[in-house]
Structure 1
């Protein structure tokens, strides 16, 4: 009995050890599984390679959004590899964005348009989700209800994008219906040529919508219904507008709708047309503007179409924004201050020409009838520069007798009169950068073979005495005096003058302190 009991006890002990080892192994496996499950998810980037709405090969935008929605624990990004310009035409509305960690859809610099094909809404953001839309065009969306381009009830951030040709009952371009803390932000964007019964461009209801450095124009809605922007609600609605253009919409630009009266807030520096909400804008705004000075909606650089500011636009140098660049990625400001809206006008600086009328003049007398002047050019915009000239007396000095040489900032002008002819001509030299130009003039006088006295008034001069004992007086500015043969007297006057006596015993009134240079003078 004792031996049996011993054997039984030993078996039980061995069985207990086995069970303990099995339990330990199970705990180890469970720990590994839990550790894997606890590992943080990683953000993904999905690249769209097909512009079809459904494709047998390649990745469509629809597929990319579906993939991002399944990875909603972390922020994801959708990019495009469709070439420099592509349009995605939708058969159905894209999947509703449900990514709570945020989804970025970025067209980058590729001129990507997503079109609702005049039949479906383009995008929708659900409550709790976030969409950051960048460098993209949303066009031709349609909804019989809310938001032809986008319907947002989550968090929507739109930047450097364009909404055009979208239509809906409410909010042709964008309809925002959010609850705190979810918001809609539109900055550095263009909302143009959209339509709705309420809020042709943007409709904001029951939440915060911020519009910054954006151009909203050419949208349509009935009178009093916010063709540009409509805002409905008092207690929970806030439509904040800063450094933006909301003008030239049909029929009214900014309106309270649905009986609300206080949901617009101005951050100043706006160009506003008309509507029942204009009283919400303050003294730092321009209101009642019917001509905002905008060009057509077209590509003006960058991946999306914009309305360029015309030269007479009241938006030029009248803004104030913290954004360092405009919708096209052009640096702000270009002038004395930021421009209002999504477009920063590059104000082309006129080129400058010095040398003919400045101390940098260098010249030479090449012959009895030819003088050469060195011109110093500059252009703040670093545009390519071209030179041209006209002559007021083509019998003495044909325009074709003015020739230019050199590249870059230093050029030379060789000016030749017709041999044997005397008289005076004004040569006008123009430097152009292709957009603007600057002119300067040189007075050219040519003597004959006798004793000539050539004198001009204040200005840059080229005096060609030719043969004979001549008296040449340049007076002011920087002059080129060519005595040639004979016993000449050369007087440059004020300015930095080049005095060349040529052959003979010549006399000069010479001032080194004024920068004069002389040659062939005994």
Structure 2
């Protein structure tokens, strides 16, 4: 078995867990952590995420259906109609767990779309959105399932049987960034752009887009585009009307795609449709297309055959796909450059086919275990301490993984931890006396399959330090700053512990600023003068590697050292042959203080000979 290191698909830092506990549509519990009705609804979970600073993980119940029933439209406070998401303090991740969110019970009684993403960063995983219904004739009344103005990533989602009277039956991306990965968009309808509208940035990878249409049957079956689009390894089928895709403005780049039907591009707009190569395109409705290596493009009278099973079905993986036929011209003719490692179903690509389905590919194996490099944490560890590195056991190689703390059996203490990349970290100070072990529940996702596991994190009990010693607590006066005074050592029954030493505030800290600590060595931070001050008080803390500590006050004594005096007599000039007597007076000196007296005599040797130089006199007390 291969143990693969984890790489997050969604980078979560200190995310809070909000569990949706009722399928009812309620809007009364907007405060984080409150639950006064039948439980926490999906609408209330989004409200609580906005109320709670930081990132939030919202968990739906696996396989459940959530129907929006609070009628109302065109307000952005998440009280009625669609669910409004606007969280400026962090990201919102909705873990659908293969649940369904619907705005009605069929295609004709929907109260609104499902989500209006006003701003912020949103991730939606493994969720089906259906029966959205938006009426009206303005741009804000578009997007039957989602209206996006934030930065949104959807993965392993299905959007089907949604409609918008104006445009964009499935989604309307206006002033936002929308990333669609391994999604299926089918049977959506609108007056223009049966499936979608985009005016900013749209990235579509490993998706199937099928059977979207306009109400009059003569417009643009899937996408009406005014922004920039990058489409990779995607299959479009049965969106045929005037064209499957219409580019009015913006840059539209397609690579490794199978597109049944036509592409059309306005000659009056800015930009064009570019090929990244290796596409099969039914035909063109205009000539604004840069064909390149590996492209097969048919004509209006003889469209290219993309070679798929036209029945949309479950061929494996979380979402439905169109299977590639063995005779398809798209088989083994794609490019590996930029192509996803796996197809939409999560099957390993080999020879690289065009489109979302890899013919003859190997099914992905689900992760079978979650591992952590350490399942214990030291007592008194502060928040943000790394407990261990997470990894997954998986027979597949080259996978990337996301790890999430999830609700369920054994999730009692999830709120005490968070996941940063592939690291499990503490969210609070760990105190052995309060709790000696913690129970958490983790979920690993390889992009297709998931695995959950309960883990116990134990707290390492630690004996705190009991004393600090200093090898020397004296220093001579007049020594330069930076002079070493002595070395600290710690008394600790945990003999393998290491210790750090710092000055701390408190009783006895009066002179901390006059000293420095380098490693375990106490140093002077000033030049001391015995006559000015001969005793200093400092407060020092020793901290072990479990963050336990001990404080102690030390008195540092300054040694008195005899000072040196340089006595310079005022200039005296004598010009004679008689003995010279020069008086020198040095006040306030004692016998002990006088170590040496230096006389500097200068003379002109041409006229004077110095002989018999001697020093006599009396010390005056």
| TM score, norm. by length of structure 2 | 0.43
User: Which residue of structure 2 aligns with residue 150 of structure 1?
Assistant: 146
1:5-44 pair list within 5 angstroms: 42-44=14-16
Partner of 2:613: none
Structure 1 residues 302 and 245 mapped into 2: Cα distance closer, same or farther (>3 Å)? closer
Q: 2:99 maps to what in 1?
A: 112
How far apart, in 1, do the equivalents of 2:150 and 2:225 lie? 17
Give secondary structure in 2 for the equivalent of 1:203.
strand
For 2:347, the equivalent position in structure 1 comes to 331
Aligned to 1:90: 68
More helix by share: 1
CA distance 1:131–1:302, shift in 2 (3 Å): same
Q: C-alpha distance in 1, partners of 2:46/2:278?
A: 37
Query: Separation in 1 of the partners of 2:212 and 2:194?
Result: 5
SS for the counterpart of 2:312 is strand
Are 1:242 and 2:228 matched, yes or no?
no
Q: What whole-Å deviation, never above 9, does each CA across 1:180-211 have from its counterpart, x for those lacking one?
A: xx412222221111111121122112x11122
Gaps of 5+ in 1: 1-40, 350-522
How big is the shift at 1:148? 0.3
Deviation at 1:261, TM superposition (A): 5.5
How far, CA to CA, are the matches of 1:196 and 1:261 in structure 2? Answer: 25
Offset at residue 271 of structure 1 (A) = 3.9
Quote the residue 1:160 is aligned against.
156
Decide whether aligned partners of structure 1 residues 267 and 133 sit closer, same or farther in structure 2, where only a CA change above 3 A counts: farther
Structure 2 gap segments, 5+ residues each: 1-12, 28-36, 71-80, 136-140, 249-265, 299-303, 364-621
Say if 1:338 and 1:292 are closer, same or farther in 2 by CA, change over 3 A.
closer
More contact order relative to length (CA 8 Å, sep ≥ 6)? 2
Alignment of 1:85-484 (within 5 A): 85-92=63-70, 93-100=81-88, 101-108=90-97, 111-117=98-104, 118=107, 119=110, 120-126=112-118, 128-144=119-135, 145-168=141-164, 169-178=166-175, 182-205=176-199, 207-221=200-214, 222=216, 225-232=219-226, 237-251=227-241, 252-257=243-248, 260=269, 262-274=271-283, 276=285, 279-280=288-289, 282-283=291-292, 284-288=294-298, 289=304, 291-319=306-334, 320=336, 321-328=338-345, 330-333=346-349, 335-341=350-356, 343-347=357-361
Partners of 1:61 and 1:94 in 2: CA distance: 11
Q: How far off is 1:69 after superposition?
A: 1.9
Query: Residue 336 and residue 122 in structure 1: after superposition, are their counterparts in 2 closer, same or farther (change >3 A)?
Result: same
Indicate how the Cα distance of structure 1 residues 187 and 347 shifts in structure 2: closer, same or farther if over 3 A, else same.
closer
- Aligned-pair distance for 1:53? 2.5
Taking structure 1 as reference, are residues 263 and 129 closer, same or farther at Cα in structure 2, changes over 3 Å only?
farther
The answer to whether the 8 A contact 2:306-2:330 is kept is no
Aligned residue pair count: 292
Contact 2:237/2:310, CA 8 A, preserved across alignment: no
Give per-residue Cα distances to partners, 1:398-431, cap 9 Å, x unaligned. Answer: xxxxxxxxxxxxxxxxxxxxxxxxxxxxxxxxxx
C-alpha distance 296-282 of structure 1, shift in aligned 2 (>3 A):
same
* Equivalent-residue separation in structure 2 for 1:278 and 1:164 (angstroms): 32
Q: Give the whole-Å Cα distance in 2 for the aligned partners of 1:278 and 1:241.
A: 19
Deviations 1:59-103 (A, max 9, x none): 3221211111222x4222222224xx3322222433211023221
Deviations 1:291-315 (A, max 9, x none): 5413433333333333333444444
1: CA distance, partners of 2:100 / 2:286:
33
CA contact (8 A) 2:91 2:120 kept: yes
Local SS of the residue matching 2:221:
coil
CA shift for structure 1 position 231: 0.8
Instruction: Give TM-score, length-normalised by structure 1.
Output: 0.51
- How far apart in 2 are the matches of 1:176 and 1:298? 27
Alpha-carbon separation, structure 1, partners of 2:155 and 2:286? 25
Cα deviation 1:316-366 (Å, max 9, x = unaligned): 3333444223333x2320x4224422x3344589xxxxxxxxxxxxxxxxx
In the aligned structure 2, how far is the partner of 1:244 from the partner of 1:238? 16
The answer as to whether partners of 1:147 and 1:171 remain within 8 angstroms in 2 is: yes
